[in-house]
Amino acid sequence: MKTRRKRIGNEIGRTAVVSVRCNFIIGLVTLLMGAFALPASAQCEVKNDAFQSGEHVMYDLYFNWKFVWVRAGLASLTTNATTYHSQPAYRINLLALGSKRADFFFKMRDTLTCVIGEKLEPRYFRKGAEEGKRYTVDEAWFSYKDGLCLVNQKRTYRDGACDESEASDSRCIYDMLSILAQARSYDPADYKEGDKIKFPMATGRKVEEQTLIYRGKKNVKAENGVTYRCLVFSLVEYDKKGKEKEVITFFVTDDLNHLPIRLDLFLNFGSAKAFLNNVTGNRHPLTSIVK
């Protein structure tokens, strides 16, 4: 991997709180996308079996501070048909807005966009994130050559400074949104409790390995009052000694849509939850609803 650093002015300082803010939205998106096993191949093209243009999903976000749950904001996820370099494609947008009340704990105004081909291969990714006094724009451009997935990444800071990097992998490299499109089309029927799922993801600065663990099935009641039969997964981190730390537990509908219903996030200074509020334009019937 090659990395280049351009400096213009003074670098904006980072704090532990800002890091947690960033991890909150990264974790949310990662788990919205990363529920199912991905093929270990440079060939990124797969058949779309899960979603259609016009799908729109809404979530309510809550934050726990000293045993008190505070409504933290909302998130919306939309998918629409578009073109990219004159070729048919999909455009996926995620908007996450923290409420003014939640700004006391952390300020979050994040907009994420990705473009994928008709066969769901990643093409372009952008994340604009206002978190506290810090504003960054992450971008990634994907290409494919000689059995490799290539990605060029760039992070731009408020002062104009930027980080740039290049990476390649024999596996498919995903961003935080393109992984949604592919992952939702995979069949988890052969999963066993405890199975680990690993995949590389571009974050705007580098490519990171992600690890998910399948926890089994559970019935979950969403914010809209409906109970769904769900598949349960956990995103985990490992310390230097290999000790496992759970970062997020999430619940995905056990049907062809594979929609996230609830996410439980474990933060350094509290916890947060995201609940499904409403979905329209889903491609398949929600057969996971428990009556």
| Residue 176 pLDDT grade (very low, low, confident, very high; cuts 50, 70, 90) | confident
- What is the mean predicted confidence (pLDDT) over 155-159? 93
| Residue 93 pLDDT grade (very low, low, confident, very high; cuts 50, 70, 90) | very high
Residues paired with 223 in a beta bridge: none
Please say if the pLDDT value at position 202 is more than 80: yes
Q: Which tokens is 154 given?
A: 């760039």
Please say if the pLDDT value at position 199 is more than 50: yes
How many Å apart are CA 256 and CA 282, to the nearest integer?
A: 10
Q: What angle do CA 107, 234, 212 make, to 5 degrees?
A: 105
Please say if the pLDDT value at position 106 is more than 70: no
Measuring CA to CA, which residue among 45, 42, 49, 26 is closest to residue 177?
26
How many Å apart are CA 169 and CA 122, to the nearest integer?
A: 14
State the SS3 of 90-159.
Answer: EEEEEEEEECCCHHHCCCCEEEEEEEEECCCCEEEEEEEEEECCEEEEEEEEEEEECCEEEEEEEEEECC
Please return the burial class of 187, using the count of CB atoms within 10 Å of its CB with bins 0-12, 13-18 and 19+: exposed
Please return the burial class of 137, using the count of CB atoms within 10 Å of its CB with bins 0-12, 13-18 and 19+: middle
The three-state secondary structure class of 9 is: coil
- What is the mean predicted confidence (pLDDT) over 227-237? 89
How many Å apart are CA 11 and CA 161, to the nearest integer?
A: 7
pLDDT of residue 109: 67
Q: What angle do CA 63, 288, 261 make, to 5 degrees?
A: 15
Could you give the dihedral angle defined by the CA atoms of residues 144, 78, 101 and 28, in that order, rounded to the nearest 10 degrees? -40
Q: Measuring CA to CA, how many Å separate 80 from each of 77, 94, 96, 253, 260? A: 10, 12, 18, 21, 19
DSSP assignment of 32-56 equals: HH--S---SSS-------S--TT-E
pLDDT of residue 211: 84
The three-state secondary structure class of 247 is: strand
| Residue 137 pLDDT grade (very low, low, confident, very high; cuts 50, 70, 90) | very high
The most confident of the ranges 64-73, 148-157, 171-180, 243-252 is 148-157
**Cβ density class 230-248: b for 16+ within 10 Å, e for less:** bbbbbbbeeeeeeeeeebb
CA neighbours within 13 Å on the CB side: how many for 197?
A: 26
Please say if the pLDDT value at position 29 is more than 70: no
pLDDT of residue 223: 86
Q: Which tokens is 220 given?
A: 């979950």
